[in-house]
Amino acid sequence: MVWCRFVHKAGMPANEAIASATRNAAEVLGLGDVLGSLSPGHYGDIVIVDGDPLADITPLERPVLTYKDAVAHVPL
């Protein structure tokens, strides 16, 4: 999620930076109906971080845990 930190440093609010890497990216790729948000009928991976990424976006670069296909993965 270095992209989020980069655009946030350039002045984009944290919530918009996160949306640009998730929901907006899926829409640009034409996949907004199945990717980009945690919604019914969407595929959704989850990233767990230590902290509030809206207050400090850098924890997105150091996930504590991720869930992909309903399986937990601990980063190396």
What pLDDT score was predicted for residue 5? Answer: 87
How far, in Å, CA of 64 to CA of 76, rounded? 10
For the cut 90, the answer to whether the pLDDT of residue 76 exceeds it is no
pLDDT the model gives residue 75: 85
Instruction: Give domain limits for the chain.
Output: 2-73
Other CB atoms within 10 A of residue 35 CB:
18
pLDDT at 70: 84
pLDDT tens-digit profile of 5-62? 889 999 999 999 999 999 999 999 999 999 999 888 888 889 999 999 999 999 999 9
Distance between CA atoms of residues 18 and 57, nearest Å: 9
